[in-house]
Structure 1
Amino acid sequence: MRIISYKLTEERNQLAALTDNDQLYPLPFTSFLEFMNHVENRDQSYLTAVNEMIADSLPIEARLEELDLQLPVRSYEVWACGVTYLKSRDARNLEAKVTTNSYYDKVYDAKRPELFLKSTERRTVGPNDPVFIRSDSNWQIPEPELGLVLNKTGKIIGYVIGNDMSSRDIEGENPLYLPQAKVWKHSCSIGPAIRLAETVANPYDFDITCRIFRNDQLIFEGSANTSQLKRRYEELVSYLMKDNETFDGTVLLTGTCVIPPDEFTLQEGDQIEIEIPEIGVLSNPVRQLAAVKN
């Protein structure tokens, strides 16, 4: 069972349930946070709540691809984890031009994971919205990741696809530049749906595929599996929660293991697709931030 949000009118979004046989049922909420508040106050499971709401409903006649999909959850904050996959560690070392005993080697093996604030609600975009590339970077890539949708106590409510856009040259120049390498306008996308955690048999067996198109031609495709993740989700969440205030709908991105070749950088007009079959396809065009009017 997946939850989506789509534009019903210019002023109003509609939440809906998407079943595994691709039937869409409207839910009586305009946002996922409203839905969370409803379920949390009743101390019932999310899947039970959805099944009760759609039991006597008729499916929406429109197909998913006909809907104007919106952010499935408008998170106050999106956090991210770094160097949780071996391939990510190696890529960070290459950026920083180090070979042994680097900070990235140390954090990969350390007890404490790397966590950082990736985005806020106003910086995060949804399906089909443009992601921006920085004007002061010459080496930029998408980072396809599995995201955990949390309630305020740190419980994993669902799973979502995330794109943790990254400026490799900025971070490689100095690890203290990480915030600038990771956070700017439209530097994070989330979507297209939230897969309820109760409906996932093994969250360490998600296939993640990233495709990048340029002039309608496929120029990169890479895949990996969340079984390659070094740390457990609960471990990452526990460090996010330490002495920290979190909110219903917080998203925690769990790190990337799909990285384009070292000579690759995104360009204006590229199209990024990130697919996790159990969740869907998150698609975003690429725009040059300097060319976009605010």
Structure 2
Amino acid sequence: MNERQFTVAKFIDDTGSVRIGRIDGNQLFPLTPTGSVKRLIDIIAADDPIGTASSLATESPVAIESVGQWLPPIDDQEVWAAGVTYKRSQTARMEESEAAASCYDRVYQADRPELFFKATPRRVSGHGQSVRIRKDATWNVPEPEVTLVISPAMKIVGLTVGNDMSSRDIEGENPLYLPQAKCYDQSAALGPWITLYDQLPPPAQIQVDLKIHRDGQIVFDQQTAADQMARGFEDLVGWLGRDNSFDDGAFLMTGTGIVPTSDFTLHPGDRIDISISGIGTLSNTVVQG
């Protein structure tokens, strides 16, 4: 039997209403809500998310390019993140903080992963919206991450593209500053939509591409794949759910395998494009202040 997949999005229509829709090729099909399925969270929380989404009536399609505003595909969920899950991330974290290098080395090899709270929904940007770099930081980078869409039953039901914005100089000064380096307004981006899966693709097929544009030029371009992770998706979700419940489900950014070198920092006006195979491209413009 062929495994099913279904792509759902959140957007604002021509009347200014928040809607959900299905992505099929280059078209968006608005979905007609029902009494029990009005928001993306209702689909994610269903016993059969793909079946639930497929059961909704569709309206006349519109071209993806004509959609005026995409919203992050999140409702009431928390966003969490994992760290030091790729070898490149381990190396970068050790480089940025000599004093804490050993703790990053240990967590890369430990049974228990690094997990931290990343964002509330209002701090999350969607496709085409802005992400922020801190005014009190001088070394700011995006972290492109495969992001798990998790149901209230702690089941992985889909994937989206995530950007874990980070102030590396703040975190490098003292690991206890990590919440300030990671958690602030517009510090996270999700989108452009969610791809629901019966079964996730093999990690080697989940390719991640980061491009940063500045003044019409690509100033950073690097790729990785999820099979470079030292930990599995299910393992991370298992740790996240220990003594922790998520009535609305959660999003879990799974760490980055792409880290710009220490001589690179984001500038206001930069455009960050993160593409993940099977999902799409999340684009955001950098602002400061």
Contact 2:149 2:250 in 1 (8 A): yes
Deviation of the 1:144 alpha carbon: 0.2
Provide, for residues 180-204 of structure 1, a one-character-per-residue CA deviation record: whole Å limited to 9, x for no partner: 1101111000000101122643245
For 1:72, the equivalent position in structure 2 comes to 73
Deviation of the 1:8 alpha carbon: 1.3
For 2:150, the equivalent position in structure 1 comes to 150
Instruction: From the superposition, tell whether residues 23 and 10 of structure 1 become closer, same or farther in structure 2 (CA, over 3 Å).
Output: closer
Provide, for residues 11-31 of structure 1, a one-character-per-residue CA deviation record: whole Å limited to 9, x for no partner: 421111113x44432222353
For 1:47, the equivalent position in structure 2 comes to 50
Alignment partners' CA distance in 1, 2:219 and 2:142: 13
- Secondary structure, in 3 states, of the residue corresponding to 1:102? helix
Provide, for residues 190-249 of structure 1, a one-character-per-residue CA deviation record: whole Å limited to 9, x for no partner: 000101122643245211001101112111111000010111111100111111121334
Instruction: From the superposition, tell whether residues 49 and 203 of structure 1 become closer, same or farther in structure 2 (CA, over 3 Å).
Output: farther
Alignment partners' CA distance in 2, 1:98 and 1:174: 8
2:205 maps to a residue whose letter is D
For 1:90, the equivalent position in structure 2 comes to 91
- Secondary structure, in 3 states, of the residue corresponding to 1:179? helix
Alignment partners' CA distance in 2, 1:200 and 1:23: 23
Residues 1:280 and 2:280 aligned together: yes
Equivalent position to 2:21, from 10, 13, 16: 16
Instruction: From the superposition, tell whether residues 254 and 139 of structure 1 become closer, same or farther in structure 2 (CA, over 3 Å).
Output: same
Residues 1:235 and 2:235 aligned together: yes
Specify every segment of 5 or more residues in structure 1 that has no aligned partner in the other structure, as ranges.
290-294
Specify every segment of 5 or more residues in structure 2 that has no aligned partner in the other structure, as ranges.
1-5
For 1:6, the equivalent position in structure 2 comes to 11
Alignment partners' CA distance in 2, 1:163 and 1:52: 31
Deviation of the 1:58 alpha carbon: 5.6
Contact 1:76 1:121 in 2 (8 A): yes
Alignment partners' CA distance in 2, 1:88 and 1:140: 15
Alignment partners' CA distance in 2, 1:65 and 1:199: 29
2:70 maps to a residue whose letter is L
For 1:292, the equivalent position in structure 2 comes to none
The number of residue pairs the alignment matches comes to: 279
1:235 maps to a residue whose letter is D
Deviation of the 1:72 alpha carbon: 1.5
Alignment partners' CA distance in 2, 1:201 and 1:264: 32
Alignment partners' CA distance in 2, 1:246 and 1:51: 25
2:164 maps to a residue whose letter is D
Contact 2:214 2:270 in 1 (8 A): yes
Identity %: 39
Alignment partners' CA distance in 2, 1:114 and 1:227: 19
Provide, for residues 29-70 of structure 1, a one-character-per-residue CA deviation record: whole Å limited to 9, x for no partner: 353113335xx2xx4x2222333335xx4640x211211211
Instruction: From the superposition, tell whether residues 10 and 259 of structure 1 become closer, same or farther in structure 2 (CA, over 3 Å).
Output: farther
Residues 1:117 and 2:121 aligned together: no
1:78 maps to a residue whose letter is V
Matches within 5 A, 1:1-294: 1-9=6-14, 11-19=16-24, 21-29=25-33, 30-37=38-45, 40=46, 43=47, 45-54=48-57, 57=58, 59-60=60-61, 62-67=62-67, 68-97=69-98, 102-198=102-198, 200-289=200-289
Contact 2:271 2:283 in 1 (8 A): yes
Alignment partners' CA distance in 2, 1:247 and 1:210: 33
Instruction: From the superposition, tell whether residues 204 and 152 of structure 1 become closer, same or farther in structure 2 (CA, over 3 Å).
Output: farther
| TM-score, length of structure 1 as denominator length | 0.89
1:245 maps to a residue whose letter is S
Cα-Cα RMSD: 1.8
Alignment partners' CA distance in 2, 1:250 and 1:160: 12
| TM-score, length of structure 2 as denominator length | 0.91
Instruction: From the superposition, tell whether residues 226 and 266 of structure 1 become closer, same or farther in structure 2 (CA, over 3 Å).
Output: same
- Secondary structure, in 3 states, of the residue corresponding to 1:104? helix
Alignment partners' CA distance in 2, 1:254 and 1:94: 21
Alignment partners' CA distance in 2, 1:200 and 1:240: 19
1:155 maps to a residue whose letter is K
Alignment partners' CA distance in 1, 2:204 and 2:115: 20
2:220 maps to a residue whose letter is F
Contact 2:154 2:249 in 1 (8 A): no
Deviation of the 1:110 alpha carbon: 0.4
